[in-house]
Chain A
């Protein structure tokens, strides 16, 4: 119950102010199509430099939580999901809004999000210390395999092609080796002065997540979404509250599915929402009502995509392995303050860790309260033309990456990686494994070198890295995730034509 001890820290004026700012800002950013939670958090990192570590994390955590929930506003009122996590919400939410039940749909969505989110954070609170205790037994070989596991699992599960996912991970791992080798002091792959000190993670993250979105907005030309905002009529909140809790099946399926999916590295929020929607429909006696503006559809999808937020941080805080791209960005936020998460985080920085986790718990409630009141404003922000949004994001990306070290080199790195990532995405590559490779590369290399030294002095490389139940467990998971993804790819190929695959990809992008 250590988390209760630090609960008071969330309510200091500065911390609470930042929590409010992150929550309200996140709701508005989340409602804006094209601004994904990962990108929103990446763009916010430069603003945390001047803050204390826990203050910075409170801001980033609140933004993460509420951008996921805020995406429901445009999904319901405009039929444009603010983030991929809200795709399932459009199915019933927008139909409800068309029937004049927009306020009810929004209320159900925010209340279900808060319930799912609180459950997810409680899971984070109770699972993290147990896993952290267990993780203390990890040696260099285990940490090396864990880093490889992080890259391969995301590379294989997050990408539409296993080979391209793994290749993205390799590119990220290679980028991480650029610069000076810490042990030998040798220069590696320094082909331009901008990368002489290695690739800084923050500009890289900003570039990899923001620039492809900017260019995607350019490709839409001078068009605007022209989506009509459906007028929201008043609806009593207590009725919505009662309805959410009366739909126990949808709420529990959504919360359970979201929490489980959140714990699996690499499986994102959009899958949580869609799987919960599908399962809820399967188990519902009112199957036929799904898709026609049924409240269970909104409750299941929204509780799931917020329930996965907390558990997705468990691998990050216990093993320093980010389980999702947004967790990777949060890791960047921790690293700039000199804090390296891992099993000893709760011993060395208990105040930072617990205040951050507690703020996420309070943030879920604030998100629900403010979400209900600023939904209309957020929907209007969602109608900002692509051109304005592209120019805004580009400006923020350039200033944000420059401010990391007051260096133009970081701006060049940000823009070059972002440009390359846009074109890579067009050819089926994914940013998530590349980011994970970039972040986990130094962890993998440091533990590989340390492990090699121990191995050479003791049992030899083969025995050190390939024996012991924990090494084997991790190796088996790596092989299983690759095999499963290859099998899925082959199985799907039997049923889909190239045109199906292209259509599916277009729908997802």
Chain B
């Protein structure tokens, strides 16, 4: 195992151990105590297993999980950023359909293997995006009567 996954394992298991300890702390300190009987049982096991996993990661004895390679991180970063902006801000801030159209088109353009230099490629992407949005509108707005946030745009 190279240093990159080992460090990643330490960070990941450290985060999980921190969550486990926090959950255990909250379970044993919050009132009313009767409401936390079951969470206390779970949290105890959760914290022990999380600390065990963290210990193994620190000692470099983690056997499974390849972590993330630099190439994979580079590839996923743009898509992840678009996804985060879309889900946590644009869907509500711009309106569901507008945000989805923009996010879909941007993701398509970022990850479509077709060359960016050809006009045909861009036309194809616009047509695919329009078709997708039409289907989504038909399914959710017309068929299922889902009222999505409209906000400043549609």
Contact of A227 with B by CB under 8 A: no
Q: Is the CB of B64 within 8 A of A160?
A: yes
Chain B nearest CB, measured from A486 CB (Å): 13
Q: Is the CB of B113 within 8 A of A167?
A: no
- The listed residue (A394, A423, A445) touching B83 by CB distance below 8 A is A394
Contact of B42 with A by CB under 8 A: yes
Set of chain A residues within 8 Å of B128, measured between Cβ atoms: 388
Contact of B122 with A by CB under 8 A: no
Chain B nearest CB, measured from A113 CB (Å): 29
Contact of B26 with A by CB under 8 A: yes
Per-residue contact bits, chain B 26-70, to A (CB 8 Å; 1 contact, 0 not)? 100011101111110111011001101100100000111111100
Distance, CA A452 to CA B38, complexed state (A) = 11
Contact of A469 with B by CB under 8 A: no
Per-residue contact bits, chain B 131-151, to A (CB 8 Å; 1 contact, 0 not)? 010001001100110111100
- The listed residue (A171, A219, A427) touching B13 by CB distance below 8 A is A427
Q: Is the CB of B104 within 8 A of A395?
A: yes
Distance, CA A428 to CA B12, complexed state (A) = 11
Chain A nearest CB, measured from B90 CB (Å): 10
Q: Is the CB of A408 within 8 A of B91?
A: yes
Within 8 A of B (CB), among A177-198: 177, 181, 183-184, 186, 188-189
Distance, CA A444 to CA B35, complexed state (A) = 14
Chain A nearest CB, measured from B151 CB (Å): 11
Set of chain A residues within 8 Å of B56, measured between Cβ atoms: 163
Chain A nearest CB, measured from B125 CB (Å): 9
Q: Is the CB of B63 within 8 A of A493?
A: yes
Contact of A330 with B by CB under 8 A: no
Set of chain B residues within 8 Å of A406, measured between Cβ atoms: 146-147
Within 8 A of B (CB), among A390-445: 390-392, 394-396, 398-399, 402-403, 406, 408, 411-412, 415, 423-424, 426-429, 441, 444-445
Per-residue contact bits, chain B 74-101, to A (CB 8 Å; 1 contact, 0 not)? 1110111001101110011000100010
Q: Is the CB of B67 within 8 A of A394?
A: no
The stretch from A73-81, A125-133, A341-349, A497-505 touching chain B is A497-505
Chain B nearest CB, measured from A318 CB (Å): 24
Query: Known: A170-B49, A214-B83, A219-B76. Contact between A427 and B38, CB under 8 A?
Result: no
Number of A-B contacts (CB under 8 A): 195
Query: Known: A161-B64, A398-B100. Contact between A218 and B108, CB under 8 A?
Result: no
Set of chain B residues within 8 Å of A411, measured between Cβ atoms: 87, 91
Q: Is the CB of B112 within 8 A of A167?
A: no
Q: Is the CB of A394 within 8 A of B34?
A: no
Set of chain B residues within 8 Å of A387, measured between Cβ atoms: 107-108, 110-113
Which residue of chain B has its CB nearest to the CB of A401?
B87
- The listed residue (A399, A403, A427) touching B8 by CB distance below 8 A is A427
Chain A nearest CB, measured from B23 CB (Å): 6
Query: Known: A170-B49, A449-B38. Contact between A428 and B62, CB under 8 A?
Result: yes
Query: Known: A50-B144, A163-B52. Contact between A188 and B35, CB under 8 A?
Result: yes
Q: Is the CB of A428 within 8 A of B65?
A: yes
Within 8 A of B (CB), among A465-505: 493, 498, 501-502, 505
Q: Is the CB of B49 within 8 A of A163?
A: yes
Distance, CA A53 to CA B28, complexed state (A) = 41
Which residue of chain B has its CB nearest to the CB of A400?
B140
Distance, CA A493 to CA B56, complexed state (A) = 15
Distance, CA A189 to CA B23, complexed state (A) = 8
Q: Is the CB of A217 within 8 A of B83?
A: no
Q: Is the CB of B66 within 8 A of A502?
A: yes
Q: Is the CB of B23 within 8 A of A215?
A: no
Distance, CA A81 to CA B75, complexed state (A) = 23
Contact of B123 with A by CB under 8 A: no
Set of chain A residues within 8 Å of B16, measured between Cβ atoms: 167, 171
Which residue of chain A has its CB nearest to the CB of B112?
A387
Chain B nearest CB, measured from A405 CB (Å): 10
Contact of A224 with B by CB under 8 A: yes
Chain B nearest CB, measured from A37 CB (Å): 21
Q: Is the CB of A394 within 8 A of B107?
A: yes
Contact of B119 with A by CB under 8 A: no
Q: Is the CB of B50 within 8 A of A167?
A: yes
Query: Known: A163-B52, A502-B1. Contact between A403 and B91, CB under 8 A?
Result: no
Set of chain B residues within 8 Å of A415, measured between Cβ atoms: 83-84, 87-88
Per-residue contact bits, chain A 306-337, to B (CB 8 Å; 1 contact, 0 not)? 00000000000000000000000000000000
Which residue of chain A has its CB nearest to the CB of B13?
A427
Which residue of chain A has its CB nearest to the CB of B50?
A167
Query: Known: A163-B49, A415-B87, A505-B66. Contact between A395 and B111, CB under 8 A?
Result: no
- The listed residue (A161, A220, A386, A392) touching B132 by CB distance below 8 A is A392
Distance, CA A108 to CA B84, complexed state (A) = 45
Set of chain A residues within 8 Å of B67, measured between Cβ atoms: 426-427
Which residue of chain A has its CB nearest to the CB of B133?
A395
Q: Is the CB of B12 within 8 A of A427?
A: yes
Contact of A164 with B by CB under 8 A: yes
- The listed residue (A385, A396, A403, A452) touching B37 by CB distance below 8 A is A452
Q: Which residues on B are within 8 Å of A, measured CB to CB? A: 1, 8-9, 12-13, 16, 20, 23, 26, 30-32, 34-39, 41-43, 45-46, 49-50, 52-53, 56, 62-68, 72, 74-76, 78-80, 83-84, 86-88, 91-92, 96, 100, 103-104, 107-108, 110-114, 128, 132, 136, 139-140, 143-144, 146-149
Instruction: Contacts A502-B1, A502-B66 known; list 7 others, CB within 8 Å.
Output: A186-B31, A188-B36, A214-B79, A218-B79, A220-B75, A395-B100, A402-B146
19 A-B residue pairs with CB within 8 Å: A46-B144, A47-B144, A160-B64, A170-B46, A174-B23, A174-B39, A186-B36, A188-B39, A220-B75, A222-B110, A224-B113, A391-B132, A395-B103, A415-B88, A426-B66, A427-B13, A428-B64, A493-B63, A506-B66
